[in-house]
Amino acid sequence: MALIRLQNISRCYQMGAETVHALRDVSLEIQRGEYVAIMGPSGSGKSTMMNLIGCLDTPTAGHYELNGTSVSDMDDNQLAEVRNREIGFVFQTFNLLSRSNALHNVELPLIYGGMPAEQRHQVALDALAQVGLGDRIHHKPNELSGGQRQRVAVARALVNKPSILLADEPTGNLDSKTGAEIMALFAELSRKGNTIILVTHEEDIAEHAHRIIRLHDGLIASDERQNRP
């Protein structure tokens, strides 16, 4: 069974008098354990696709099934619960809470998930150790380097053991060396069996993925698997 199943998904936005079709009747399946890159120029619909897959948004038409559950008709609170359980976000700008330390940032999804405090603490520590930041848990974001911040964000994304790791231009704000480190971390996470979806417009970043889906004008232009060396 596919982890992600998009069936005839459309998403329109009303921009004044004009209707913008960000996605037009798109169907797509992603299996558990896949490492997929979604590519396309700006305006191609890749952000919309990411928002829909990440359950931040719902389609205008079509059906979306995530992990066997239909999410296209859910309300705000149900979607929040699905995001909490099933999806780990990694953003281009890290989006850490600036006034909280690394540990608390990672604990946050667990708080919303309702995990008791002692257990939460241990789980968050484990997640930080997994991304190599076990010794930086009490540092605030502004005391960490860009790469370290993104690692905290990855730890936060992974802490709930989600079905999907959804990364939106994760290396966009990093220098190439740090970017490479983050991509190496993703590769390792993929080897460990995590499903990773990478949204990017950089070819060399997308090259890390096992499957590249290219969008153009709200349609899937190509969907190709590549054999990793």
> What is the smallest separation between the CB atom of 16 and another protein, expressed in angstroms?
16
Question: What's the CA gap between 92 and 179, in Å, rounded?
Answer: 11
Which window, 26-34, 99-107, 175-183, 194-202, contacts another protein (CB under 8 A)?
A: 99-107
Please tell me whether residue 194 binds another protein under the rule CB under 8 A. Answer: no
Exposure letters 134-168 (e unless 16+ CB within 10 A, then b): eebbebebeebeebbbbbbbbbbbbbbebbbbbbb
Phi, psi torsion values for 183, nearest 5 degrees: -65, -35
Which window, 72-80, 125-133, 194-202, 212-220, contacts another protein (CB under 8 A)?
A: 72-80
Please tell me whether residue 173 binds another protein under the rule CB under 8 A. Answer: no
Contact 200, 8 (CB under 8 A): no
- Pattern 115-154, binding to another protein, x per CB under 8 A? -xx-------------------------------------
> What is the smallest separation between the CB atom of 49 and another protein, expressed in angstroms?
12
Please tell me whether residue 77 binds another protein under the rule CB under 8 A. Answer: yes
> What is the smallest separation between the CB atom of 182 and another protein, expressed in angstroms?
19
Map 48-88 to HEC letters.
HHHHHHCCCCCCCEEEEEECCEECCCCCHHHHHHHHHHHEE
81 vs 181, beta carbon nearer another protein: 81
**Tell me, what amino acid is at 135?**
D
Please tell me whether residue 81 binds another protein under the rule CB under 8 A. Answer: yes
Site for another protein (CB under 8 A): which residue of 25, 29, 57, 126?
A: 57
Please tell me whether residue 16 binds another protein under the rule CB under 8 A. Answer: no
Site for another protein (CB under 8 A): which residue of 2, 56, 74, 180?
A: 56
Site for another protein (CB under 8 A): which residue of 85, 121, 211, 216?
A: 85
The number of residues that bind another protein (CB under 8 A) is: 28
Which window, 17-25, 75-83, 176-184, 198-206, contacts another protein (CB under 8 A)?
A: 75-83
| Interacting residue ranges for another protein, rule: CB under 8 A | 51, 54, 56-57, 76-77, 80-81, 83-85, 89, 91, 95, 97, 99-100, 104, 108-109, 111-114, 116-117, 156, 160
